[in-house]
A and B are shown apart, each in its own frame.
Chain A
Amino acid sequence: MHADPTAETATPSSTADAVRRRLVRKGRWSVAEIAFWLVAAATLVFLPERHLILNEIAIIGLFALSLDLILGYAGIVSLGHAAFFGFGAYAAGILAKHGLADPLLGLAVASLATALLGFATSFLVLRGTDLTKLMVTLGVALLLGEIANQASWLTGGADGLQGISMGPVLGLFEFDIFGTTAYAYSLAVTFVLFVIARRIVVSPFGLSLRSIRDNPLRARAVGIPVNRRLVAVYTLAAAYAGVAGALLAQTTQFVSLDVLAFHRSADIMLVLVIGGAGYLYGGLLGAIGFKILQDILSAWTPQYWQFWIGLILVVLVLAGRERLTDRVKALWPRSRPSPDGKAQALPVTPAREV
């Protein structure tokens, strides 16, 4: 591996140490991250008129986070992620409609149900090229959409699922018309799931996912159980999307067929493109960027705001989001990688260039 033959014997343990050190270091919370969540919590107090849209941002952020887990970390492209979002929404909505109005119970049931659905459909995305995966995921979402349309005795069909009334969160906080409880609830759930996802992606499991994303053949060759890992992360991402859907159903107390619609899957892809895939804040930042842009633009021109969103997207993709963020980072010298940081980075194996 290393060109230096004397280092050969020391390599396995030192590499393992380096990896461990790096994972631990990556697992530490940076100041910027803590600040991000503190600001998010502060909006509960300081932006009382914006709680409704913030609630939506938190939910879309969680949904995008879920897509990032499979797309950004495991490299599974999906155009049908709304299948899980919608399934979770209907699960929570139907449960609440039939008297089980406790929100947390609804979340638990919705996440379990979508995890099962995710597990069952994960085997479909193990095979084939990216194009096949796009079509298969799209197909699953379309199937579910049609089932929901036909089963109107259960889902309300095209009229939407009505008559959902939620109980108070933890038996204490009733959902109010200002959306404060809804936002606090969605933000808390998103934060908890974010912390779990963050822990997972800095674990050896997360590292193995990234190696599968970068080169599945080699990952298999070094002994990573590729299929099992992909099934696991797909199931996890499905559960996350299901929770996001359940949050939407519970906080708006209404579910309609469009939770399963293609535009949801496409929008969430857009959110991830805006925020950037492959790091957990991408989905959250993308959701904030997308929703605020949409809110401002559509208030300014309700007819033509999509033109401006499209223009911004084209600019983002052409200019390269990385290039833009790098330029912003360059303005802030402290965030530049320090020489120390470089020294601690993983030893780059020459095999990479082969």
Chain B
Amino acid sequence: MRRRTVLSAAGAALAILAFGGAASAQEAMKIGLILPMTGPFASTGRQIEAAAKLYMQQNGDTVAGKKIQLIVKDDTGVADVTKRLAQELIVNDKVGVIAGFGLTPLALAPAPLATQAKVPAVVMAAATATITEASPYIVRTSFTLPQATVPMANWASENGIKKVVTLVSDYGPGIDAEKAFSGAFSAKGGQVESLRVPLANPDFSPFLQKVADAKPDALFVFVPSGVGAQFMKQFVERGLDKSGIKLIGPGDVTDDDILNGMGDVALGAITTHHYSAAHDSPENKAFVEAFKKANNNMRPNFMALGGYDGMHVIYEGLKKSNGAGGEALINAMKGLSWTSPRGPVSIDPQTRDIIQNIYVRKVERVNGELYNVEFATIPSVKDPVKAAKSN
């Protein structure tokens, strides 16, 4: 019983914090940014942190009379650490928003906390479709894997591709991509064969041999972004680039962060994704220029954009809720729409997931550097998994 009293007292305290905004206008609004800053996914963390800081630098640190304070924590990519950090940020630092979350388990672990403490959680990277269903306080500003994959299947079937071999890393997101692509492509009458490669230290050559034997029109590939370079190299070594097999996939393989280092082997790969640093709009040009200037010429990738737009959602949400946090803030975030560097986007009021354009791109050399150059647009794509559920 006493525990319950403590808990409800805590709830009351949080509520006072959340709704007492008007009484204490000078109060700070703290944002806990939990990211993998070290370990194999450190590049995700660095991109997002840099983008969040850039946003604050451009838009000031006072919103609706509240001083925004960013607290960055490193979860090393380990889920239980993410959860502990989120809990400490909520309980000790009294943050009004938790944000970041580089990988799916890292976003799912603290989800119950967001619900319990009524603290909005802004997912800036993790891309499994179900994440926003884990708590009514989760908003996502990155993308979902099926959102980027299903348009690829549609584009392929509309462009004369009839037979595809899929090659994915054998883990959650890889299998999601495989299912999303196969489902959509077979529904359009295409023929699909599936291959899975181990996640750790993969050697693609035996799988690529199978692909060469199957002689498909295209090879659909999804691997975690770091492995992309290795895959590309082996793809070319096997001579598959000259065999007429098109290389297609969601944009993770040709991540802007590492694309330029891949060299010419990446040329011609066709991907569908929500963001390319080469996106042709004044907003994006300004964003890329400012980001490079602030970060030693580092090129922003889709992770950075998730962080940038995540901060935008927090800022705009606070403006709409007049600085109030908790439920008022999450409600204010629902339905926001704006022009992001990636193009027009909005937050789906039902699913709290992002609705955005998906672009079909081809790797080309622009001014001496490799970029994903967009050549077709599929406007306002909702996450197909949740869209299918609601129908």
Contact = CB atoms under 8 A, between A and B. Distances in A.
A158 B79 CA distance: 11
A52 B90 CA distance: 12
Contacts of B293: none
A258 interface: yes
A303 B90 contact: no
Interface stretch (B107-115, B214-222, B267-275, B368-376): B107-115
A152 B80 contact: no
Contacts of B83: 252, 254
B388 interface: no
A256 B80 contact: yes
Interface size class of B (residues with CB under 8 A): 35 or more
Contact of B172 (A53, A157, A252, A253): A157
A177 B105 contact: no
Contact of A258 (B42, B77, B128): B77
A52 B88 contact: yes
Interface string B7-35: 10010000000000000000000000001
A214 B84 CA distance: 40
B78 A258 contact: yes
Given A177-B113, A302-B37, A158 B105 contact: yes
A180 B46 CA distance: 33
Nearest to A55: B84
Contacts of A248: 80
A56 B91 contact: no
A174 B117 CA distance: 16
Interface residues of A, number: 37
A254 B275 CA distance: 32
B72 interface: yes
A286 interface: no
B389 interface: no
B84 A252 contact: yes
A305 B38 contact: yes
Given A177-B10, A254-B109, A258-B79, A52 B91 contact: yes
Contacts of A326: none
B244 to A, nearest CB: 34
Contacts of B37: 298, 302-303
Interface of A: 49, 52-53, 55-56, 149-150, 152, 157-160, 162, 168, 173-174, 176-181, 248, 252-254, 256-259, 263, 298-299, 302-303, 305-306
- The list of the 3 closest CB pairs from A to B, nearest first, reads A158-B172, A160-B105, A256-B79
